[in-house]
Structure 1
């Protein structure tokens, strides 16, 4: 199958003046039907470790995963990171978490009962949020979307965030863009040109945030429209671009 033509140019080489923010699934890592099945090449961990040092610490992972999952995936690295699309954040060793409402327990139980009708469908309990996945069961999409709409009534202060073959119920307010802006207010990110690399609709807030701070976004894939200024084809292209950045001045 031919590779789709990108509508945006390739990004410039990584600069030592940047603050670099990296999405994980679909950006650094190839998707898996089950999020726990993704694989991290040890070579990527080495590249991230070197770039983190050369950027004086101004490299962060920004993900829908929990921070504990990120630390497990990228061990022994423990980078500055944003988890749950902004509901968890770690900088300088300090970690913040959003509280979990009691109503989520029943919502998870009901959702998992529904998902059993479609082998491969999955309801992921992230603590503060719920993610309903149908990547391995496309026929479950309508049911899971309808269920997500219905349980919003039981979760005031929550909204739906749509992604790539997933919908997530999450608290209002925090998102990847607001988390990036918060990080930019503090060392080692403050005063640097912010660059965000991501693939999904959930990354658009972050693209907009870095653009408003004299930076730019790099879209992974050919999805349009997007606030990103540059694009790379796929996670393999992202990993190659980062590795080339080891030669930055």
Structure 2
């Protein structure tokens, strides 16, 4: 456990950002945190430094990403078709199968040192899901979990028409996390028809807009979700952390 646990989190609103740019930024923060942990391990307690925590929020242009455990045939489109619909495709280093990101979707990338909180990936995933569930409840949308399936679902109890509203996929090393979640707020759901979402062929996807019958301000959803995650993890916001540093 970290000798000097840091409960502050730096919130960075990245806006609409290219997937590769956001991935590179995550990797840089992730690598810096790991390097600091190595330094701390080799230093006396009085010389150790607090490891940082970050919570990045953004949107992406149309893109499909395939996790390490995914199957490439779950992408149901060739390169020419992807170009025609203005989408890109990346094989990435998170867990999980294939998913879609695009405008109107709230993407969150927590880069946390879990040594600052608890060293339990299962608990970490369940708390991310709980933050989404509580946010949806703020809008009168009843959501929950399905045993054996990561993410957040609607009609999860009756199992009559379960619909996925939030996908998740993370990577962790030495208890430092990256990648995260994608909540469909005002997402164009037609883009999901070109994949087998998360490798699950027999269940549908949905969005807040689809369920409510009207669009929802993305910044409003972001604020509510941020508040729930702060409460669930016992975090406080570090000062002056808006946006992505340049250079």
TM-score calculated relative to the size of structure 1 = 0.31
Q: Which has the higher strand share?
A: 2
